């Protein structure tokens, strides 16, 4: 089992994450930390842990690029599972043990943890929803394992089957931020199994207890562009699913703009996002992550089926 942590300028939180990984009841055999060109000493801190394989990127590739790079490198170690998490995700001691136990029993392609905030409450940004397209038997099978059949999960804490990754590929690096985990997890789970594991608990140490429709500011551009890319270019969702999730997205965009303290900014981001989402496509990962030496080579090998 290999863990992949993407880090960017959160040195103190990264220490908490790495200490928590070291304290796992079932420890990852290796931990890959992808440092996204941090300007603090995140890389130096990660490099001080003997169990960490540190990858320092020459430029910030966003969460999407960082996970694509980390997964490509993890594939070369050929683990059964790859555990993905952000650098503000602090797992409780049995988080990995429970994820693996339930995911293996469910023969899942991807599994996600229960995510709480620092005060112990459910984090609204990462609250799972039962797969609305699952059959009654599929839902019952997940519940027998005290889990929940889900259609997507989050990079906050995602366990992915290496065999499924080899079939489905890497995250799309050009997403940079937002919707990258939704696109990727739906692609992993499509025609397969996704399960939420409430007994696996992680603490998502965001600055505030906010949901996905909180005022995003400039980042709303990535939300809009990436959703257009997802609905028009990704193979993660079926046509029926795209219609359902598309309607939900439109409602959320309306709420987000209505509640914003700077509606003019969000409307400009909406316009640019719609324009670029329609007029452009994500670049191949080998192009988006070009010029990164061994990382680029690993990405090329992974996407050629030789990871």
In contact, 180 and 63? CB cutoff 8 Å:
yes
Burial of 150 (0-12, 13-18, 19+ CB in 10 A): buried
Segment 82-92 mean pLDDT: 97
Residue 156: closest CA among 261, 45, 4: 4
Alpha carbon distances (Å) from 189 to 74, 82, 150, 152, 195: 20, 15, 9, 7, 9
For residue 307, what pLDDT is reported? Answer: 45
Tell me the CATH number at 97: 3.90.550.10
For residue 214, what pLDDT is reported? Answer: 66
Which three-class secondary structure state does DSSP give residue 91?
A: strand
Judge whether 233 lies within some domain.
no
* Residue numbers of the domain that contains 74: 2-210+282-303
Q: 188-197, pLDDT tens digit by residue?
A: 999 999 999 9
Residue 109 has pLDDT above 70, yes or no: yes
Segment 265-275 mean pLDDT: 97
Residue 212 has pLDDT above 60, yes or no: no
Token couple for 148: 């929940």
What does the alpha-carbon distance between residue 75 and residue 92 come to, in Å, rounded to a whole number? 25
Segment 217-226 mean pLDDT: 96
Instruction: Provide the number of structural domains found in the chain.
Output: 1
Residue 213 has pLDDT above 60, yes or no: no
Judge whether 226 lies within some domain.
no
Judge whether 268 lies within some domain.
no
What does the alpha-carbon distance between residue 132 and residue 127 come to, in Å, rounded to a whole number? 15
Judge whether 7 lies within some domain.
yes
Judge whether 139 lies within some domain.
yes
Q: 45-84, pLDDT tens digit by residue?
A: 999 999 999 999 999 999 999 999 999 999 999 999 999 9
Judge whether 97 lies within some domain.
yes
Residue 208 has pLDDT above 80, yes or no: no
Alpha carbon distances (Å) from 272 to 89, 116, 172, 223, 233: 31, 34, 20, 11, 18
Judge whether 249 lies within some domain.
no
Predicted TM-score (pTM) of the model is 0.94
State the pLDDT confidence band at 211, using cuts at 50, 70 and 90.
low
Q: 118-151, pLDDT tens digit by residue?
A: 998 888 888 888 999 999 999 999 999 999 999 9
Judge whether 231 lies within some domain.
no
Segment 6-13 mean pLDDT: 96
């Amino acid at each position: 089992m290999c863990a992949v942590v993407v880090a960017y300028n959160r040195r103190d939180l990264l220490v908490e994450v790495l200490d928590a990984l070291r304290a796992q009841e079932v420890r990852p055999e290796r931990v890959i930390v992808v440092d996204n060109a941090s300007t603090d000493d995140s890389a130096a801190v990660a490099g001080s842990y003997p169990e960490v394989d540190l990858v320092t990127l020459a430029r910030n590739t966003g969460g999407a690029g960082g996970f694509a790079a980390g997964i490509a490198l993890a594939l070369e170690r050929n683990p059964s599972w790859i555990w993905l998490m952000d650098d503000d995700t602090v797992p409780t001691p049995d988080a990995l043990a429970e994820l693996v136990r339930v995911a293996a029993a469910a023969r899942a392609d991807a599994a996600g943890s229960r995510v709480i905030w620092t005060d112990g409450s459910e984090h609204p940004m990462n609250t799972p929803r039962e797969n609305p397209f699952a059959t009654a038997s599929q839902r019952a099978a997940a519940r027998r394992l005290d889990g929940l059949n889900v259609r997507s999960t989050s990079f906050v804490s995602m366990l992915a089957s290496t065999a499924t990754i080899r079939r489905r590929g890497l995250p799309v690096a050009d997403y940079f931020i937002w919707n990258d985990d939704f696109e990727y997890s739906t692609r992993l789970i499509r025609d397969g199994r996704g399960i939420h594991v409430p007994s696996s608990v992680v603490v998502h140490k965001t600055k505030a207890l906010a949901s996905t429709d909180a005022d995003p500011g400039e980042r709303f551009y990535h939300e809009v562009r990436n959703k257009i890319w997802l609905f028009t270019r990704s193979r993660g969702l079926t046509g029926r699913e795209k219609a359902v999730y598309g309607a939900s997205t439109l409602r959320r965009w309306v709420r987000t703009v209505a509640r914003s303290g700077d509606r003019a900014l969000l409307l400009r981001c909406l316009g640019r996002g719609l324009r670029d989402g329609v007029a452009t496509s994500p670049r191949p990962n080998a192009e988006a992550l070009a010029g990164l030496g061994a990382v680029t080579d690993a990405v090329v090998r992974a996407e050629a089926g030789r990871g």
